[in-house]
Amino acid sequence: KQEVTQIPAALSVPEGENLVLNCSFTDSAIYNLQWFRQDPGKGLTSLLLIQSSQREQTSGRLNASLDKSSGRSTLYIAASQPGDSATYLCAVYNTDKLIFGTGTRLQVFP
Amino acid sequence: EPEVTQTPSHQVTQMGQEVILRCVPISNHLYFYWYRQILGQKVEFLVSFYNNEISEKSEIFDDQFSVERPDGSNFTLKIRSTKLEDSAMYFCASSAGTSSYNEQFFGPGTRLTVL
């Protein structure tokens, strides 16, 4: 059974720092992997989708990498800003569903 | 840009009542999904639906739940007799093809509160 784990569970950093959020999954036979952002009490905002044949994707200050063989993905956030404060979720595509991790709650203070 | 919409945004109901959560997927999508997120917990898969049939469901999706595509645009989740533990945010998603290779697009969610 696929399990998705995210480390750390929470992170508090000063503005301007570069950050790495980690996601690991137990079964490397995944298709795609997607990173989402979720603000408190709100919905899911898609950040990056990495297809299984890709090793990384970039969007603005965000870069996500995927290493299927080791069951890991990382989300790199450059030059963090207070507006980046949110919970970040990774999810793996497993047959016909997404399996989500528990998230990393990020707080960036001025 | 096309998007998935959900109504209502917030539903409050009494325990034991039936509720119907509504979703309008992206118009040319063929695969539809429901997920839920209990407060403070992870997002969990409930059910996937394709060609007017359930293609996969989780252990959570018991006989109290049902899904339907009553017309060409709506996709609904019905909970027959709500329990306190059904209180959660419910997300609808759709994809153009099987999610093995196609991105799922999520709606904004319906917050269900069971009193």
- Please check the confidence at residue A37 and state whether its pLDDT lies above 90: yes
CA distance A30 to chain B (A): 8
Dist. CA B101–CA B81, nearest whole Å: 36
Q: Which two tokens stand for residue B56?
A: 């996969």
User: For residue A103, what is the nearest residue in chain B, using CA coordinates?
Assistant: B42
pLDDT for res B101: 76
Query: Do residue A46 and residue B33 have CB atoms under 8 angstroms apart?
Result: no
DSSP H/E element including A22:
strand A19-25
Q: From the CA of A104, how many Å to the nearest CA of chain B?
A: 11
pLDDT in tens, B22-81: 999 999 899 999 999 999 999 999 999 999 999 999 999 999 999 999 887 899 999 999
pLDDT the model gives residue A8: 93
- Are residues B43 and A97, on separate chains, in Cβ contact within 8 Å? no
Q: Give tens-digit pLDDT for A45-86.
A: 999 999 888 899 999 999 999 999 999 999 999 999 999 999
SS3 B63: coil
- Band (pLDDT 50/70/90 cuts) for residue A96 is confident
pLDDT band at A95 (very low <50, low <70, confident <90, very high): confident
B49 touches B61 (CB < 8 A): no
Amino acid making up residue B70: P
Residue B78 and residue B64: Cα distance in Å, rounded? 8
Which of A46, A97, A103 shows the shortest C-beta gap to B45? A97
**Is it true that the peptide bond before A8 is cis, omega within 30 degrees of 0?**
yes
Compute the average pLDDT of residues B87-97.
Answer: 95
Q: Which of residues 56-75 of A touch B (CB under 8 A)?
A: none
Q: Is the pLDDT of residue A29 over 90?
A: no
Q: Does the pLDDT value for residue A33 go beyond 90?
A: yes
Decide: helix, strand or coil at residue A17: coil
Work out the pLDDT band at B98, boundaries 50, 70, 90: confident
